[in-house]
Amino acid sequence: MSANSPTRVALVTGTSSGIGAAVVADLRAQGHEVLAVDFNPEGRQTAEAEGAAFYQADLTQGEACRGAVDEALARFGRVDILVNNAGIQHVAPIVDFPEEQWRRIIDLMLTAPFLLTQAVWPSMRDNGWGRIINIASVHAQVASPGKSAYISAKHGMIGLTKTAALEGGAQGITANALCPAYVKTPLVDNQISDQAKLHGMEEQQVIEQIMLKNAAVKRLIEPSEVASLVAYLASDAAGAVTGASWNIDLGWTAQ
């Protein structure tokens, strides 16, 4: 971060590993204050290793979402950047998909980003500056079998992003979504195992024949690559960028 760049306050969800942990590290490296929010108490060690504050919360609960924002406001006095990253996955055909899992995924991956956006909005509006960055997925653009709840939540996140962009523009608030293909994270590792069971395949076959089948670049994405784009969208340089869906999909949707 340059000497003239102001220190911002970021709230990042889903930070114990993967993309969220990489985003926390990147934002801290730029000198920003960060509240890392995760359900897993082990996320505290990950956050504090980067000099970030930690707040444990089950974001499927509305009060927990508002509590996380209250914690950031109490610690830092404002929230400038919101990164909605927390996610879970369950793979099953629609006919066998458990209602409980459907509701949990939608609550965490669509309702929580809405409630967090709603809660940080007054701080961003009052300061005339805000960045809302939603970690969606290539599955916000295309569908795959067995992921009805995940794909529905991610498609909904694009709609939420666009609406926030339209409502926030005049108040200095931008909203953008990132749509990565498969990233090297524990969530993806679990998906590999689930997909192998669903399709009766070996795990390496899942990577090659399902995950990378439609990719022009035949590799998984590093979390740091996603974090770098988050850092740009969280900066002053991205002030004219809003309502966009940024594909980091190895060329998947180029077809």
Q: Choosing from 55, 150, 182, 232, which is the catalytic residue? A: 150
Give 253: exposed, middle or buried? Use CB within 10 Å, 0-12, 13-18, 19+: middle
DSSP track, the chain: --TTSPP-EEEEES-SSHHHHHHHHHHHHTT-EEEEEESSTTHHHHHHHTT-EEEE--TTSHHHHHHHHHHHHHHHS---EEEE---------GGG--HHHHHHHHIIIIIHHHHHHHHHHHHHHHHT-EEEEEE--GGGTS--TT-HHHHHHHHHHHHHHHHHHHHHGGGTEEEEEEEES-BSSHHHHHHHHHHHHHHT--HHHHIIIIISTT-SS-SPBPHHHHHHHHHHHTSGGGTT--S-EEEESTTGGG-
Q: Is 182 a catalytic residue?
A: no
Q: How far apart are CA 237 and CA 171, in angstroms?
A: 17
List the catalytic residues: 150
